[in-house]
Amino acid sequence: MAAGMDGMRASGVTVETDVAVIGAGPVGLFAVFQCGMLRMRCVVVDALDAIGGQCAALYPEKPIFDIPAHPEIEGGALIHKLEAQAAPFTPLYLLGRRVETLRELDGEWQLGTSAGDTIKARAVILAAGAGAFGPNRPPLEGLPGYEASGAVRYLVARREDFRGKRVVIAGGGDSAVDWALSLKEVAAHVTVVHRRPKFRAAPESSARLDAAAARGEVEMAIPYQLHGLEGDGSRLTGVVLSTLKGEQKAVPADHLLAFYGLSMELGPIAHWGLGLSHSHVAVAPATCETSLPGIHAIGDIATYPGKLKLILQGFSEAAMAAHAIHPRVFPGEALHFEYSTSKGVPAG
């Protein structure tokens, strides 16, 4: 395995590992540490471009008060510490891709991702929370064709893609405001669409956007919302906007950037035969094993009598799952329970 290629974004990766971890939230990250302590290598896949799950995506600056030994720690800081704790074991992170398929192959598991990767693993730890994070999509006719061509996007990977282009930016939060301010420097024209004059963005950024609009550098379409897309189904030529009263106007555009936040959806996990109930996977409490041998579920997605959806409980499940998986990875090898103080941190 190509170990230690942190945050890898290449697609079409083929890799073999001991344990495939689905989800790089706090619980998935701690599972990497626990597996590493038992000399099991991990590949971690997440739909998001960054590790951290809910902590990083939803509340990076909010303090958490119930992490043992941290009277107070922000979501983002907790993730940094978990990443550092897992780092000695050089996990391979495959980010920005969703695990789509899971099938048994010769007593092992083979995972396929939306980026065309194939991961073969002796065991799987499903730490998928409430599902894969993805953008909230506007309900517009013909959207998939424009998404596929890159005309409609939900994030900016390269500012240069928008040089000389007419860009419509929809949304009222920090992403919409910050990208409007940034892209006005390279785009031919930027229109910001929002339902109301007030933005949910940092006040100084909102003030800078107002000033840019006053100078004519950005066009504000307020109070408007997205109504439709114009083009040939792939190449975008315009975006139709409407007010709540139904007044419409069309804005010429090459790109639509929709920043309506993130949502989580279980998506393909529901079809893996795990017997989901209310979006949760029932596990055996002592091992976190699901109804499929070698597939262990931990963290928010796992349920059993007495389950609390807390990070600290997910940490303990990670330890139990790793110990339960050990005999699959090292058949016939006795596993003697040891404290970390006794054995230290084995090299990855």
Ligand X SMILES: Cc1cc2nc3c(=O)[nH]c(=O)nc-3n(C[C@H](O)[C@H](O)[C@H](O)COP(=O)(O)OP(=O)(O)OC[C@H]3O[C@@H](n4cnc5c(N)ncnc54)[C@H](O)[C@@H]3O)c2cc1C
Which residues contact ligand X by CB under 6 A?
22-28, 45-48, 53-55, 58-59, 64, 66, 98-99, 127-133, 268-269, 299-300, 309-312, 314
Smaller CB separation from ligand X, 308 or 334:
308
Does residue 223 have a cis peptide bond before it, meaning omega lies within 30 degrees of 0?
Answer: yes
- Cα 60 from chain centre: 14
In angstroms, what CA-CA distances link 138 with 98, 258, 269, 326? 21, 7, 24, 45
Smaller CB separation from ligand X, 128 or 241:
128
Minimum distance from CB of 277 to ligand X (Å)?
A: 17
Number of Cβ within 10 Å of residue 134's Cβ equals 15
Minimum distance from CB of 266 to ligand X (Å)?
A: 7
Residue 333 structure tokens: 């090898």
Cα dihedral 68, 69, 74, 80 sign: negative
Smaller CB separation from ligand X, 22 or 226:
22
Smaller CB separation from ligand X, 47 or 256:
47
Residue 199 structure tokens: 């933005």
Cα dihedral 89, 95, 183, 223 sign: negative
Minimum distance from CB of 306 to ligand X (Å)?
A: 15
Minimum distance from CB of 342 to ligand X (Å)?
A: 28
Smaller CB separation from ligand X, 21 or 241:
21
Smaller CB separation from ligand X, 246 or 306:
306
**Closest-CB residue for ligand X?**
129
Q: Which amino acid belongs to residue 74?
A: E
Minimum distance from CB of 98 to ligand X (Å)?
A: 4
Q: Which of 224, 128, 209, 213 is nearest to 173 (CA)?
A: 209
Minimum distance from CB of 183 to ligand X (Å)?
A: 26
In angstroms, what CA-CA distances link 338 with 144, 288, 319? 52, 20, 12
Minimum distance from CB of 297 to ligand X (Å)?
A: 9
Smaller CB separation from ligand X, 294 or 299:
299
Cα dihedral 19, 25, 27, 29 sign: positive
Q: Which residues of 20-51 are buried (b: 16+ CB within 10 A; e: fewer)?
A: bbbbbbbbbbbbbbbbbbbebbbbbbbbbebb
What distance in Å separates the CA atoms of residue 275 and residue 285, rounded to the nearest whole number?
A: 16
Minimum distance from CB of 218 to ligand X (Å)?
A: 31
Smaller CB separation from ligand X, 28 or 231:
28
